[in-house]
Structure 1
Amino acid sequence: MADRQAPHGAPWRQVVDHEVDGEPLRVWENPAQAPQGPSLVLVHGFEESWESWRPLTRRLPAGLRLFALDLPWRSGSRHRWTDGGTSTTWLERALELLPVHPAAVVAHSFGATTQLDLLTRPTPFSAVPTALVAPVYRPHDVPVDPRFFGEAVDRFRGVLADGLRAQMGPRGATVPPDIVESMIGKVRERVEPHGFLQFYATLSRTPHLPLNLVEAPVLIVSGTHDVSAPPSAVDELRSSIPDVRVHQDPALSHFCQLQQPDQVAEQLLGFLTELGLHHSDELHHTSKEAISA
């Protein structure tokens, strides 16, 4: 399968292209310098893609073997994938396609919530150390009522718009605002209502996850002003997951893996070091000059 060259890093290559009920599951790999390096698996969020991890992975050690999953809730999807199972079912299927058992998982937003759900279930992946970046979570004391539904719609639309802007990066500043709004409108036309229903169902059931069953070490990285995981939600996660460490920073956006990758990489490397999967003297995939380019 064809290699694709990252702008400032090692080439990624597609290693799995699998289909279930007409829905593709793909795995991309960025090999480690050492063939037996620890494997880190990346799980993207709603309306994102495996490429959303590029800014972060350019800051990770070359000794890590990186795998990025391409999942049914990818950008461009019509979001009818629940005919073939829940997001947790799809994630487990994708993990089963990996050529090696993951040493750790890093998941963002909707993907993070899906990974958290998977950690509560009896699967071969339930004990895999996990970093949850900006997870979507609803605390117990937030009732599912008409007000919550309306807020969820607004939040969903806000995340879609913010995600599009984040993925545009610096070039977004050169695009006229009316063009950006038109692009956001087209995304909403495609994603709603099926996509919102999946998002809403996931958000509604998070308080019922048996988080006391999570055996894996967990890191949570999020912004204190991120409405998808407000401080009350993170506090509940902190008190419910047995082995958890939390880093919250007002400077982090919901799409911090794209917009503040240095801060996220610092927290992730500290977590991996604690797990014995990284050593501070390891080389990174790119130089500081490449990162700042």
Structure 2
Amino acid sequence: MTTRTLQKIIPSIPVSDGAGVKLRRSLGQSQGLRLDPFLMLDEFASDDPQDYIAGFPPHPHRGFETVTYLLEGTFQHEDHLGHRGLLRSGGAQWMTAGRGIIHSEMPQQESGRVHGFQFWINLPAREKMKPAAYRDIQPEEIPQVSLTADGGGSVRVVAGTFTAPDRVVAGPIQGLSTAPQFLDVRLPAGNRFVHELPAAHTAFLYPYAGSLQVGAADDFRPLAAHQVGVLSAGDRLEVAAGPDGAGFLLLAARPLGEPVAQHGPFVMNTREEIEQAIADYQSGHLV
């Protein structure tokens, strides 16, 4: 087996989105800064309601999937198709924009901490115009696995699978064309985490707490919090938590190898398709 190494580090930068929500953006801070099929990764974390209270009022999407994952907080989703869902601490929402959707994500709290993530995954050309759909994943639907009997870390499996010591654990998201893997891993200081990955998958790490040492013990590189760590090719991941422990996301998916044309919330394969998406939205025919 080939252990993946830390190939590149992408620091996150402060930005605002929606109606002024403050967040940190790593992937997607420029249109060239993508990792096929991942288009964007945002982290939002604040105890100050002024940083998040205005939320994300109605806005359109076409051509990709958005995934929202909350560590803390409560948001409500609504869309023009009449769907409504509540995203709670520990839960996730996996939305396929497909041919088009206009939706909002608004906080359902006036105080307290909000901490979560949103990332975008591209859709293959053959799926970009399929009907929009989404799934609200409640916290209790996401399996959590203890890494050792003495409390030496845990893994929450949102998408794909994780091989635990006694069984293979499947997350609630399965069967997508990009075969995504999405794990939320918590490690005490110094503890190691080993996981097998499909060799052809694009993969990266994002520590949101503490720090990591990435690679085999005799050849590791450090990765600090709020940085994307792009992984090299290989079929095995090995990391260790830093002196303050670590909480991190592991994201991996099958690359599409297709051209990307993007205009804000629209992601297609050609400029002509983007122009059609804009015209459809302006004329009220996005869906």
Q: What TM-score, normalized by structure 1, do the two folds share?
A: 0.28
Larger strand proportion of the pair: 2
Larger proportion of helix: 1
